[in-house]
Chains A and B, each alone.
Chain A
Amino acid sequence: MRIWLGIATMSLVTYLIRAVPLTLFRRKIENRAVRSFLAYVPYACLSAMTVPAIFFATDSLAETSVAFGVAFLLALRGKGLVAVAVCATAAAFAVSLLA
Chain B
Amino acid sequence: MKTETTPEKAAETPSEFAQGAKDSVPIALGYLAVSFSVGIMAANGGFGLLQASVMSMTNMTSAGEFAGIQVIAFGGALAELALTQLIINLRYALMSLSLSQKLSGEVTLWQRFVVAAVNTDEIFALAVKRAKSLTFRYMLGLEVFPVAGWTAGTFLGAFSSTLMPESVSRTMSVLLYGMFIAIVVPEARRARPILVVSLLAVVLSCLFHWAPGLKEVSFGIAVIVCTVAASSVGAVLFPLSDTKQGDGE
Contact = CB atoms under 8 A, between A and B. Distances in A.
Contacts of B24: none
Interface in A1-49: 2-7, 9-11, 13-15, 17-23, 25-29, 32-49
B222 interface: yes
Contacts of B66: 49
B182 A37 contact: no
A74 B37 CA distance: 19
Contacts of B172: 89
B68 A84 contact: no
Interface residues of B, number: 107
A14 B178 contact: no
Interface in B5-56: 30, 33-34, 37, 46-48, 51, 54-55
Given A26-B100, A72-B185, A37 B231 contact: yes
B177 A6 contact: no
Contacts of B198: 43-44, 46-47
Given A19-B117, A71-B178, A7 B168 contact: no
B146 to A, nearest CB: 14
Interface in A43-98: 43-54, 57-59, 63-64, 67-68, 71-72, 74-76, 78-89, 92-93, 96-97
A32 B202 contact: no
Interface string B111-149: 011011101010000000000000000000000000000
A57 B188 contact: no
B116 A15 contact: yes
B160 interface: no
A81 B58 contact: no
B35 to A, nearest CB: 11
Nearest to B196: A40
Interface residues of A, number: 75
A78 to B, nearest CB: 5
Contact of B182 (A35, A40, A51, A80): A80
B67 A49 contact: yes
A2 to B, nearest CB: 7
B200 A44 contact: yes
Contact of B239 (A9, A33, A64): A33
B247 A39 contact: yes
Interface in B183-203: 183-189, 193-194, 197-202
Interface of B: 30, 33-34, 37, 46-48, 51, 54-55, 58-61, 63-68, 71-72, 78, 81-82, 85-101, 103, 109, 112-113, 115-117, 119, 121, 167-168, 170-189, 193-194, 197-202, 204-206, 209-210, 219, 222-223, 226-227, 229-232, 234-236, 238-240, 242, 245-249
18 contacts: A7-B58, A10-B59, A10-B64, A10-B82, A17-B85, A21-B97, A23-B113, A38-B231, A42-B121, A43-B201, A45-B88, A45-B201, A47-B197, A47-B205, A48-B222, A81-B33, A84-B182, A96-B170
Given A11-B58, A41-B90, 16 more contacts: A6-B78, A11-B59, A15-B58, A17-B96, A18-B93, A38-B93, A41-B87, A44-B198, A45-B227, A47-B201, A50-B181, A51-B202, A57-B173, A59-B170, A71-B182, A93-B171
